[in-house]
Amino acid sequence: MAKWLPPNGFTGRVQHLDARVGGSYRMSFTNFTTGNSHAFGGEHLELVPHETMRDTGQFDDPNLPDVMQTSVTLRAGLIDELHLAVRPILLGSGEHLWDGLDLHALGYARTHAIASERATHVFLSKRA
Protein backbone atom coordinates (compact mmCIF):
# COMPACT_ATOMS: atom_id res chain seq x y z
CA MET A 1 0.00 0.00 0.00
CA ALA A 2 2.81 2.43 0.84
CA LYS A 3 4.22 2.13 -2.70
CA TRP A 4 1.09 2.47 -4.86
CA LEU A 5 -1.60 4.23 -2.79
CA PRO A 6 -0.06 7.70 -2.22
CA PRO A 7 -0.97 10.40 -4.75
CA ASN A 8 1.69 11.73 -7.12
CA GLY A 9 4.21 13.84 -5.17
CA PHE A 10 3.68 11.99 -1.89
CA THR A 11 5.30 9.09 -0.08
CA GLY A 12 3.34 6.65 2.06
CA ARG A 13 4.13 4.98 5.35
CA VAL A 14 2.10 2.14 6.85
CA GLN A 15 2.00 2.17 10.66
CA HIS A 16 -0.45 -0.73 11.06
CA LEU A 17 -2.00 -3.25 8.66
CA ASP A 18 -4.36 -6.10 9.54
CA ALA A 19 -5.04 -7.40 6.02
CA ARG A 20 -8.35 -9.19 6.49
CA VAL A 21 -12.00 -8.20 6.07
CA GLY A 22 -12.89 -6.23 9.19
CA GLY A 23 -9.20 -5.60 9.88
CA SER A 24 -7.87 -2.09 10.31
CA TYR A 25 -4.98 -0.07 8.91
CA ARG A 26 -3.18 3.21 9.71
CA MET A 27 -0.89 5.11 7.40
CA SER A 28 0.28 8.57 6.44
CA PHE A 29 1.11 10.50 3.28
CA THR A 30 4.02 12.97 3.24
CA ASN A 31 4.43 15.62 0.55
CA PHE A 32 7.84 15.51 -1.19
CA THR A 33 8.11 19.29 -1.43
CA THR A 34 6.63 20.64 1.81
CA GLY A 35 7.23 17.71 4.15
CA ASN A 36 3.63 18.06 5.42
CA SER A 37 2.12 14.77 6.58
CA HIS A 38 -1.49 13.67 6.84
CA ALA A 39 -2.32 10.54 8.88
CA PHE A 40 -5.44 8.44 8.43
CA GLY A 41 -6.83 5.00 9.13
CA GLY A 42 -9.76 2.79 8.34
CA GLU A 43 -11.21 -0.68 7.98
CA HIS A 44 -11.01 -3.24 5.17
CA LEU A 45 -14.51 -3.93 3.85
CA GLU A 46 -13.56 -6.34 1.05
CA LEU A 47 -10.31 -8.12 0.18
CA VAL A 48 -9.98 -10.58 -2.70
CA PRO A 49 -6.29 -11.44 -3.29
CA HIS A 50 -4.99 -10.14 -6.64
CA GLU A 51 -8.47 -8.76 -7.52
CA THR A 52 -10.17 -6.26 -5.20
CA MET A 53 -9.55 -4.09 -2.15
CA ARG A 54 -12.30 -1.89 -0.70
CA ASP A 55 -11.84 0.02 2.53
CA THR A 56 -12.87 3.06 4.53
CA GLY A 57 -10.53 5.86 5.49
CA GLN A 58 -10.68 8.89 7.75
CA PHE A 59 -8.01 11.55 8.27
CA ASP A 60 -6.93 12.40 11.82
CA ASP A 61 -7.32 16.12 11.04
CA PRO A 62 -10.62 17.31 12.62
CA ASN A 63 -11.06 19.69 9.66
CA LEU A 64 -11.49 16.60 7.44
CA PRO A 65 -14.32 14.81 9.28
CA ASP A 66 -15.86 12.74 6.48
CA VAL A 67 -15.19 9.03 6.01
CA MET A 68 -13.91 8.08 2.53
CA GLN A 69 -14.43 4.76 0.80
CA THR A 70 -11.77 3.56 -1.63
CA SER A 71 -12.11 0.66 -4.07
CA VAL A 72 -9.20 -0.79 -6.03
CA THR A 73 -9.84 -3.46 -8.66
CA LEU A 74 -6.93 -5.34 -10.20
CA ARG A 75 -6.95 -7.44 -13.34
CA ALA A 76 -4.00 -9.62 -14.30
CA GLY A 77 -2.02 -7.97 -11.51
CA LEU A 78 -2.28 -4.53 -13.16
CA ILE A 79 -4.59 -1.58 -12.67
CA ASP A 80 -6.87 -1.62 -15.72
CA GLU A 81 -9.68 0.56 -14.41
CA LEU A 82 -9.69 3.31 -11.81
CA HIS A 83 -12.61 5.17 -10.22
CA LEU A 84 -11.58 8.38 -8.45
CA ALA A 85 -14.06 10.17 -6.20
CA VAL A 86 -12.59 13.65 -5.87
CA ARG A 87 -13.94 15.86 -3.13
CA PRO A 88 -12.38 19.31 -2.89
CA ILE A 89 -10.61 19.80 0.43
CA LEU A 90 -7.79 22.08 1.47
CA LEU A 91 -4.81 20.37 3.14
CA GLY A 92 -2.54 23.03 4.63
CA SER A 93 -1.85 25.53 1.88
CA GLY A 94 -3.33 23.17 -0.70
CA GLU A 95 -1.64 20.53 -2.83
CA HIS A 96 -1.84 20.16 -6.60
CA LEU A 97 -2.16 16.37 -6.67
CA TRP A 98 -2.35 16.07 -10.46
CA ASP A 99 0.47 18.44 -11.50
CA GLY A 100 2.87 16.69 -13.85
CA LEU A 101 0.65 13.61 -14.17
CA ASP A 102 0.15 12.76 -17.86
CA LEU A 103 -2.53 10.05 -17.89
CA HIS A 104 -2.41 9.78 -21.69
CA ALA A 105 1.35 9.07 -21.61
CA LEU A 106 0.73 6.43 -18.93
CA GLY A 107 -1.75 4.71 -21.25
CA TYR A 108 -4.98 5.77 -19.54
CA ALA A 109 -8.07 7.40 -20.99
CA ARG A 110 -10.94 9.01 -19.09
CA THR A 111 -14.05 7.00 -19.95
CA HIS A 112 -16.48 9.33 -18.20
CA ALA A 113 -16.98 11.69 -15.28
CA ILE A 114 -19.95 12.39 -13.04
CA ALA A 115 -20.19 15.61 -11.04
CA SER A 116 -22.37 15.69 -7.95
CA GLU A 117 -22.91 18.32 -5.27
CA ARG A 118 -20.12 17.03 -3.02
CA ALA A 119 -17.72 15.18 -5.33
CA THR A 120 -16.62 14.56 -8.89
CA HIS A 121 -16.31 10.93 -9.95
CA VAL A 122 -13.75 10.26 -12.68
CA PHE A 123 -13.46 6.88 -14.38
CA LEU A 124 -10.21 5.90 -16.12
CA SER A 125 -9.41 2.81 -18.19
CA LYS A 126 -6.13 1.46 -19.52
CA ARG A 127 -6.08 1.78 -23.30
CA ALA A 128 -5.58 -1.43 -25.26
In a domain, 2, yes or no: no
In this predicted structure, the answer to whether residue 98 has a pLDDT above a threshold of 70 is no
Q: Residue 24 belongs to what H/E stretch? A: strand 24-31
Residue-level pLDDT at 95:
61
Asked if the structure places residue 46 within a domain, the reply is yes
Give, in degrees to the nearest 5, the angle at Cα 10 between 68 and 79: 65
Specify the pLDDT at position 78: 66
Within-domain flag for 60: yes
To the nearest whole percent, how much of the chain has pLDDT over 70? 85
pTM over 0.85: no
Residue 58's pLDDT band (boundaries 50, 70, 90)? Answer: very high
Residue 109 lies in a domain: yes
5, part of any domain: no
Domains identified in the chain, total number: 1
What integer is the mean pLDDT of 55-79? 80
